[in-house]
Amino acid sequence: MEESNIEKLYKMLESIPVTEENEKLLEKIKKDLDEKDYENALNGLKELGNFKTKEEKTKKSDNSNGVYPDELSDVELERKFIGLLLTEPKQIVKYYFLYDDCYFEDEEMLNIYKSILYTEGGKYTPEVAKQGFNFSKDSEQVYRLKGKLKNDVRGQNYNMEKTYIDLKKLFLLRKNYLAIPIEEIQKRIIEIKSYILYDKMSVEEVQSAIIQVNDTGKFKRAVLNKGLSSFLRLGDNNLTNGLPLPFPILTSVFKGIRKGETMAFAMPSNSGKSRFTIDIAAHVALVHKKKVLVISNEMSEEKMRLCLITTIINNKEIQKVHGIELSKTEGELLEFKFRPDNTNDVEVDDKGYVLKREDETQAEFADRLSKISTEYNKTIQITDWANKEILNSIYFINITDHTNDELKKVIMNYYYKEKIEYIFYDTLKTDTANIGIGEELKKTATILSNLAQNFNLFICSTLQLAESDTLPVNLNVNDLAVSRTVKEVLDTLCLMKQIHRDSYEKYEYSLKEVDTEYFDLKKYDDPDVRYYAAVVDKNRAGAKPTLLFRLNLAYNVWEELGYLRLKR
């Protein structure tokens, strides 16, 4: 052998990547060259041509259809299967693919497979195996390729059954990859190929794995011991990162408004459940700048809208955002009552509100108010601000006759359409078909809990408390007007009830849970000012205190005063 050719052989060997498969053979070839045993060296190089690196095994053929990711590409396996069939065509009687399950990536291999069905193995092919396939295209190039494929498998110790099963599993993955064009699902189908025991899985077990991916794709997965340091050190978790409620103690107790959880507040009828819902929802939307969805089966859109305006005007935390201090009752807003800056030359009623003239339209009255009432102008400034700041951020839907499935669809529609992750449901009831069946309420609550966990949503509901003689500080789950078992699926439950005016002297409150200074409940002349006891009946985050709230429903102002107890 010429010296120049020997040098080329050395350079070629140096350029070949060393793998576990070819390492020993490379060493032998180099040894043969060093010993000038060129015949053995050339034979070794020929044998080396049968080895492929991992990159070559997953490299797409020039005839690839290009629709599969690299992980689901294995041209070598396709060629091996076709080569084995060409070598012994009668095997098609057992090792065939139905049309709907045939997913060759290499177009040339698909073409030759059709040829085997109708020509080389035609007399052995079951009729069912031919259904759906057309005839192959023959040419001199195809003929030569067939010869090469047979030569490639000749003398190799390939097992036809294993090759067929491996390809059938791959076809199954490809089929389902294309069938569900959802990135997260496709990613998990690809992952099946890299399962530690994938090689030992049967076709049926791969099918089961695909079904599990489809059925449980919405479930959250994790490796629990991964990222523990950042979880602890940086607070990188939902257990501490909830949005603050407008109530400091409840925020501390519940660890805030946390996605993935369900929260419920229960009150007797006509105690302000809807207004309390709007108070928290408006806080989330306007203070925390989050989109929210309010679902109501009690208050109409008009009443909710009026309550929202009242809340936006009077809520102290929201006032800090829009920057305007003002106090207006819901009644004043509904009746369009505003005081003038100067009562001279302006006709007012006995309470000082500007009177509308008999011949004056509503538009003319509003225009006149804008010239004489700062109170009116501030109100319009606030509503204008709300229009610009929260455009489409507080969504509302009123549902009366509905099923659990419709409720779920409403929530998912807003989640997918607007990515709303904070939902308020007023009031949690059974679906229409099961009114009066208490246990059905737990089913509805379970559906909401599953949605919260699976899609990382915060869902807050109101519940109905029964009219009973139970003291407000002694409320428990038995005071619910509906199924007590609903508590089992909730993450937090707070029971709230008004303290009667004639029993104020029996109660006292402190600013700290354990304190030495206690305060009496002050009586107000305004009948709209009330005190509510709030008993935390369930809290997965820990403490379950009893708190005191002071509220004024006319302004929809809710204040958390402290820890409540009966005087000793």
What are the DSSP calls for 477-519, one per residue?
A: GGGBSS-GGGGGG-SEEEEEEEPPGGGGGGEEEESSSS-S--E
Domain end position, chosen among 216, 235, 267: 216
Same domain, yes or no, for 12 and 74?
no
Does a structural domain hold residue 556? Answer: no
Same domain, yes or no, for 75 and 17?
no
* pLDDT given at position 45: 66
Same domain, yes or no, for 35 and 75?
no
Strand partners, 564: 509
Does a structural domain hold residue 22? Answer: yes
Domain end position, chosen among 450, 475, 495: 495
Same domain, yes or no, for 305 and 411?
yes
* pLDDT given at position 300: 86
Does a structural domain hold residue 542? Answer: no
Q: Are 285 and 292 in contact (CB under 8 A)?
A: yes
Same domain, yes or no, for 291 and 197?
no
Lookup result for tokens 């936006």: 312
Q: Residues of the chain whose pLDDT is less than 50?
A: 50-59
* pLDDT given at position 52: 41
- Domain residues for the domain of 98 are 58-216
* pLDDT given at position 346: 92
Does a structural domain hold residue 252? Answer: no
Same domain, yes or no, for 182 and 115?
yes
Does a structural domain hold residue 394? Answer: yes
Residue 274 is part of a domain; what is its CATH number?
Answer: 3.40.50.300
Q: Are 128 and 159 in contact (CB under 8 A)?
A: no
Distance of CA 196 to the CA centre of its chain: 28
- What are 57-64's contacts with CB under 8 Å, separation 24+? 60/105, 61/105, 61/106, 61/108, 63/106, 63/107, 63/108, 63/109, 64/105, 64/106, 64/107
Same domain, yes or no, for 106 and 17?
no
Does a structural domain hold residue 354? Answer: no
Same domain, yes or no, for 329 and 446?
yes
Amino acid at 373: S
Q: pLDDT (tens digit, 9 = 90+) per residue, 285-317?
A: 999 999 999 999 888 888 998 999 999 999 999
* pLDDT given at position 148: 94
Lookup result for tokens 């500080």: 473
Amino acid at 490: L
Distance separating alpha carbons of residues 561 and 550, to the nearest angstrom: 7
Q: Are 277 and 428 in contact (CB under 8 A)?
A: no
The number of folded domains in the chain is 3
Lookup result for tokens 């003929």: 143
SS3 (DSSP) at 450: helix
Does a structural domain hold residue 16? Answer: yes
Distance separating alpha carbons of residues 101 and 174, to the nearest angstrom: 9
* pLDDT given at position 387: 84
Does a structural domain hold residue 403? Answer: yes
Domain end position, chosen among 495, 527, 544: 495
Distance separating alpha carbons of residues 300 and 285, to the nearest angstrom: 20
| Phi-psi sector, 27: left (phi>0), alpha (psi -120 to 50), beta | alpha
Same domain, yes or no, for 37 and 89?
no
Same domain, yes or no, for 178 and 277?
no
Same domain, yes or no, for 129 and 19?
no
* pLDDT given at position 400: 76
* pLDDT given at position 35: 74
* pLDDT given at position 180: 78
Q: pLDDT (tens digit, 9 = 90+) per residue, 25-62?
A: 778 877 877 777 766 776 676 565 544 433 443 445 55
Same domain, yes or no, for 77 and 40?
no
SS3 (DSSP) at 94: coil
